[in-house]
Structure 1
Amino acid sequence: MQRSDRLFDIIQIMRDGALHTAGDLAKHLDVSERTIWRDMATLRASGVPVEGERGVGYTITAPITLPPMNLTMGELEALHLAVAILGEATDPDLSTSAQSLAAKIDAVLPENAGPPGTGWGFAVYPFADAAAGFKHMPLLRDAVREKKLIRMNYLDLDDTTSTRLIRPLQLEYWGRVWTMTAWCALRHGFQVFRVDRIEALIDTGATFTDEAGQSLQDYLAQVDEIKAKKRL
Structure 2
Amino acid sequence: MRRSERLAEIVEILRDGRLHRAQDIAETLEVSLRTIYRDLDTLIATGIPVEGARGLGYMLREPVLFSSLNLSLAELEALHLGMAIVAEAADPELQDAAQSLARKVSQAAPMAREAPPRWGHGVYPFHRAQAGFPHMPLLRRAIRGREVLRITYRALDGTVSTREIHPLQMEYWGPVWTLSAWCTLRGAFRVFRTDRLEACRGTGATFAVTPGQELADYLASIG
Query: TM-score under structure 2 normalisation?
Result: 0.60
Which residue number in structure 1 is paired with residue 176 of structure 2? Answer: 177
> Which consecutive unaligned segments of at least 5 residues does structure 1 have?
1-62, 225-232
Q: Report the residue type matching 1:161 in the other structure.
A: V
Q: Report the residue type matching 1:141 in the other structure.
A: R
Please state how far the C-alpha of 1:115 moved relative to its aligned partner: 2.6
2-structure distance, mates of 1:143, 1:127: 26
Greater relative contact order (Cα < 8 A, sep 6+): 2
**Cα RMSD for the two superposed structures:** 2.8
1:79 aligns with 2:79: yes
Query: TM-score under structure 1 normalisation?
Result: 0.57
Q: Report the residue type matching 1:184 in the other structure.
A: C
Are the aligned partners of 1:150 and 1:203 in contact in 2 as well (CA < 8 Å)? yes
Are the aligned partners of 2:84 and 2:127 in contact in 1 as well (CA < 8 Å)? no
> Which consecutive unaligned segments of at least 5 residues does structure 2 have?
1-62, 116-121
Q: Give CA deviations for 1:68-104 in whole Å, capped at 9, x if unaligned.
A: 5653322222222222333344543223333444466
1:114-193 aligned at under 5 Å gives the runs 114-116=111-113, 124-193=123-192
1-structure distance, mates of 2:77, 2:146: 23
1-structure distance, mates of 2:101, 2:170: 26
Please state how far the C-alpha of 1:170 moved relative to its aligned partner: 0.9
2-structure distance, mates of 1:146, 1:102: 31
Q: Alignment partner of 2:222: what SS? A: helix
CA change 1:84–1:218 in 2 (3 A) is same
Are the aligned partners of 1:85 and 1:127 in contact in 2 as well (CA < 8 Å)? no
1:96 aligns with 2:99: no
CA change 1:106–1:211 in 2 (3 A) is closer
1-structure distance, mates of 2:114, 2:213: 30
Residue identity over aligned pairs, in percent, reads 54
2-structure distance, mates of 1:197, 1:104: 24
1-structure distance, mates of 2:131, 2:182: 23
